[in-house]
Amino acid sequence: MTGHTRPAQTEHRPPTEATVKQLYATAFRCGKPECPRPLYRMNNETGETILNSRIAHIHARRQGGPRWNPQMTEADNRSAGNLLPLCIEDAAEVDETPAHYPADLLREWKREQLREYDTIQRAWPITDDQAAEAAEQSFGPQQEAAATAAAAAVAQVARCASRLVETSRQQRRAAADAAAGWQAMRARWAQSLGPFFDPGTGDRLTSDEAQVEPPRRDTEECESALRATLRTAKEAIEPVATDLVAELGAVRVVARALGLRCDQVEQDARSLVSAATQWDLSDPGDGVWHQAVARLEAAVQALGAVWHEEDARSQPPQPTVPQSEATACPPAA
């Protein structure tokens, strides 16, 4: 090795206000194709223009940030070519879920935004004060901290929810074994008495059809074994559900638009806890629990997707919680 290798920079200075003015002088609306939001909006009463956008970095300004490119020079990083004015929601979104927004895609958006300016010749020739405001809002520490916190909270909810599903799945195996033991005992008992025939037709009947049940004293041991597994399940699952609810609270604080989706996740998590702490002998496929898992997973996905798809204002789907038909074993006390 000869000469000095300059250590790679891990953070670049923010863009200059001159660059900010240049960006707004060559763009009219959000750089996401099909997003109609203008970069500034008008207050109809006062005629004031109000900042309606943020400037996103195609490659982040800091190591570890979205689409960080260690090869990029500082001059390139803070140049207009690496910067894309977007509406506030889309600016947050491209940084929260950068995997959905690779640099090549954002560069294509950038080209499209400039093409549109060439065509319509509409843009926002802003003042120095407005440029300073846009820079502060786009690159200031508070803005970045809020975006990071929201992303972290949504990711944490997803992790907690999958831990809840996994914990309940593990506990379900023990309950299934106990229930199978109960069923096997019934089958053995029926076999020792059978076969059974319909008194009218003489047709052979199964033990279920013949409605033979072992005497109570024989079922008690099996039933108490099943109850014990459900109590253990409850002890294992409830703390995980509590963690999930706490993380949902964190999302509600940093991303209020996601409140309805958070409510849905919470409701489905509670349904899963309820399903996982009961056992219905007449539901041999454990369908109620499987449905509860599927609903929770869909709700968590919807929470992530809404962050991504930006339709947080739409109503969440109405829950279709089936009435639990658990008859054999009520919730563990």
What does the binding site for Zn ion look like in residue numbers (CB under 5 A)?
30, 32, 35, 37, 87, 90
Q: How far is the CB of 87 from Zn ion (least distance, A)?
A: 3
Q: How far is the CB of 90 from Zn ion (least distance, A)?
A: 4
Q: Which is nearer to Zn ion, 90 or 116 (CB)?
A: 90
- Cite the beta strand spans of 153-260 per DSSP E: 196-197, 204-205
Neighbours of 87 (CB within 10 A): 22
Q: How far is the CB of 89 from Zn ion (least distance, A)?
A: 6
Neighbours of 304 (CB within 10 A): 17
Q: How far is the CB of 150 from Zn ion (least distance, A)?
A: 17
Chain centroid to CA 105: 23
Provide the token pair at 55: 């400037």
Contact 55, 88 (CB under 8 A): no
Q: Which is nearer to Zn ion, 35 or 205 (CB)?
A: 35
Contact 57, 92 (CB under 8 A): no
Q: How far is the CB of 136 from Zn ion (least distance, A)?
A: 20
- Cite the beta strand spans of the chain per DSSP E: 40-42, 49-51, 53-57, 83-87, 196-197, 204-205
The whole-angstrom separation of Cα 110 and Cα 81 is 8
Q: Which is nearer to Zn ion, 35 or 298 (CB)?
A: 35
Q: Which is nearer to Zn ion, 90 or 266 (CB)?
A: 90
Q: Which is nearer to Zn ion, 37 or 107 (CB)?
A: 37
